[in-house]
Amino acid sequence: MIALNVYGESAESPVGNGAVILTVPSAPESFVENYSDRTATTLGFTWVDGESNGGSNIQDYTISYDQGSNSYVSFENGIFGQAYVATGLTPGRLYKFKV
Predicted TM-score of the model (pTM): 0.69
pLDDT at 10: 79
18 Ramachandran zone, left/alpha/beta (phi>0; psi -120 to 50): left
What pLDDT is stored for residue 21 in this prediction? 67
Which CA distances in Å does 1 have to 13, 16, 17, 21, 37? 5, 9, 10, 16, 54
**Cβ-count burial of 84 within 10 angstroms (0-12 exposed, 13-18 middle, 19+ buried)?**
buried
| Superfamily for the 23-98 domain | Immunoglobulins (2.60.40.10)
Q: Would you write out the chain's pLDDT as a tens digit for each of its 99 residues?
A: 667 778 888 777 767 666 666 678 888 889 899 999 999 999 999 999 888 888 788 888 999 999 888 899 988 889 998 999 999 999 988 889 989
* φ, ψ of residue 9 in degrees (nearest 5): -100, 150
